[in-house]
Amino acid sequence: QVMLERVHPARPGWYEKLYATAMDKGMQSYEAEIAQYKSNLFSQLSVAGKNILELGVGTGPNLKYYASADGVNVIGVDPNIYMEEYSRAAATSAGLPSSNFTFRRGVGEALPAEDGSMDAVIGTLVLCSVKDTDMALREIKRVLKPGGLYLFIEHVAAADGSFLLLVQGALDPLQQFVADGCHLTRKTAENIKEAGFSSLSLNAVRLSSAYIVSPHVYGVAYK
Ligand SMILES: C[S@@+](CC[C@H](N)C(=O)[O-])C[C@H]1O[C@@H](n2cnc3c(N)ncnc32)[C@H](O)[C@@H]1O
């Protein structure tokens, strides 16, 4: 709770609600384009009977890729309370019994889980929004079991010297305002590489539907 207030002080309710609705309604073409990458990525996860934590679960667009396996337990963490009903609905339509889905209001910088308790941690488009990327990565490692997987998809800064990076830099303050603290120019791949996972498979792709957030990295890290 203390960390939640420190890294994600309460926004006005209307703002959080608007952002949740925008994420729910505005991501269709993005989700359509990213679908093939998500299918590949989540196929690396055998989740039956496993404990999974998703940070920044948002409206729950990833649940359909992994939550239908037998006996999977999912904790969805997000500071925005309006994400609860969307992610709950996404869990239900993915076939996850409601007793196996827990929404926890919280932040990546202080994950609500015991050390070494999770088989997998999932995060998509969230390290752009946390206040402290390295702290969130330390938390991801802390809650993973040895050998546990961290699956990620993140939008990142465009290449050094590119025109897009200039545009991202110019729009960054506005983006933080309209997209609840999302940063456009983070070099998140570097943070993940330096986080001390025992192995890492990291890929880069540019998505055409995503305009200023088109450069993405995705992959799997093992604790
Ligand atoms: C761009 S949305 C992505 C949501 C979802 N993961 C997806 O792929 O659609 C960013 C999410 O991160 C959440 N968020 C913001 N700050 C956070 C923090 N410090 N820790 C965890 N989640 C955070 C937001 O509330 C929002 O749901």
CA of 107 to the centre of ligand 1 (A): 9
Query: From the CA of 114, how far away is ligand 1's center (Å)?
Result: 21
pLDDT of amino acid 92: 96
- Number of independent structural domains in the chain: 1
C-alpha of residue 186 to centroid of ligand 1, in Å = 15
Q: Could you tell me the residue range of the domain that residue 153 belongs to? A: 2-222
Q: pLDDT tens digit string along 107-150?
A: 999 999 999 999 999 999 999 999 999 999 999 999 999 999 99
CATH code for the domain in which residue 73 is found:
3.40.50.150
Pocket lining: 7 vs ligand 1, CB cutoff 6 Å: yes
Nearest CA to ligand 1 atom 24: 56
Secondary structure in 3-state letters for the chain: CHHHHHHCCCCCHHHHHHHHHHHHHHCHHHHHHHHHHHHHHHCCCCCCCCEEEEECCCCCCCHHHHCCCCCCEEEEEECCCCHHHHHHHHHHHCCCCHHHEEEEECCHHHCCCCCCCEEEEEEECCCCCCCCHHHHHHHHHHHEEEEEEEEEEEECCCCCCCHHHHHHHHHHHHHHHHCCCCCCCCCHHHHHHCCCCCEEEEEEEECHHHHHHCEEEEEEEEC
Residue 106 in contact with ligand 1 by CB distance below 6 A: no
pLDDT higher than 90, residue 7: no
Query: What pLDDT is recorded for position 47?
Result: 75
Percent of the chain past pLDDT 90, that is, above it, reads 79
Q: Is the pLDDT of residue 216 over 90?
A: yes
The pLDDT tens digits for 19-31 are 899 888 888 899 9
pLDDT in tens, 34-77: 999 999 999 988 876 699 999 999 999 999 999 988 889 999 99
